Structure formats: C-alpha cells, structure tokens
Amino acid sequence: MGMTITVIKNMLKKPATIKYPKKKSDISKNYRGRIVVDREKCIGCYLCQIHCPTGAIVVDPKDKKAYVDIGRCIFCSLCAEVCPVKCIHFTNEYEKVSKDKEKLKRQ
C-alpha cells in the first residue's frame, strides 16, 4: 500500500528540476555573478591585485585602472571587501560563457 501512495504522489507532483533555458531559477540576494569594476571611481591602489587568490584582477600600469579576467575569477569577493573606494561589485548575471577566451579577459 505504501508503495502505491508513493507512486501516485510522484505522478501528481511537479518535477524537482527546472527546464533551464526556458525557465530561469530565482537568484538569491547575496548572489555573486559577473564582477564589474567601476573605472570612474577606481584609484589604482593595487590592493585588489595583491589580494586576488588567482591573479584574475590586474591593475593596468598605463591608465592605473583595474581589469578582470573572468576566466580566472573564483568569485570569492575578497577584492570587493578590500577596495577602499568600493568600486568593485557583483551583478546577478550568471551566463558568462564565451567561445572565445580573449573576450573574457580585460572586462
């Protein structure tokens, strides 16, 4: 009897998965998606470059502004914490895939 109830329940229930490209899942409030540097505010203090665990964020010595290589970023948000002017933040965008590796650099 127990088995019958389970089978009927499972037939009437919605699936646990989401049909991804058609329907997108909800994004949490703390979600860390694409990393964005506000280069107007950036003062080129090199703190983010010193602290980055993977070397994804690098300050260009020519214009003294930070640039991010998304391919190397591990989304730990340490750069956003150490930034003295708070010019680094994370957006909700999670589709960051590209076929070209070069496009991921210098964002």
Partner 1 sequence: MHRTMFPIGPQHPSLKEPIFLKLYVEGTVIEKAEFDLGYAHRGVEEKMENKEIDTTLHAVQRTCGICSQCHSLAFLNAVEPMGQIRIPKRVALQRMVIAELERIHSHMLWSGVMMHEMGLETLFMYYMREREKILDVFDELTGNRVHHSADLIGTMKMNFSEEDIEMISKTFDSMKDKLEDYRRSVEGHDVIRDRCIGKGKITRADAVKYGLVGPVARASGISYDVRVNAPYLGYQFVKVNPVVRTEGDVHARTLVRLDETFESMRIVEEACSKIPKSKVPKYPVKRIFHGQGAGRVEAPRGENFHFVKIDMAKTKRVKIRTPTVANLVMYPKVLQGADITDAPVIVMSMDPCISCMERVAVIKKGKTEVWSSHELFRGKKHD
The answer to the question of residue 77 lying near partner 1 (CB under 8 A) is: yes
Q: Please pick, from the candidates 41, 50, 94, 96, the single residue that binds partner 1 as defined by CB under 8 A.
A: 50
Q: Please pick, from the candidates 60, 63, 81, 93, the single residue that binds partner 1 as defined by CB under 8 A.
A: 81
Q: What angle do CA 103, 32, 75 make, to 5 degrees?
A: 65
The answer to the question of residue 85 lying near partner 1 (CB under 8 A) is: no
The answer to the question of residue 74 lying near partner 1 (CB under 8 A) is: yes
Q: What angle do CA 90, 94, 92 make, to 5 degrees?
A: 40
Q: What angle do CA 39, 69, 52 make, to 5 degrees?
A: 85
Q: Which helix (H) or strand (E) holds 101?
A: helix 101-104
User: 3 to 42, contacts with partner 1 by CB under 8 A?
Assistant: 16, 28-32
Contacts with partner 1 by CB under 8 A lie at 16, 28-32, 50-53, 74-78, 81-82, 90
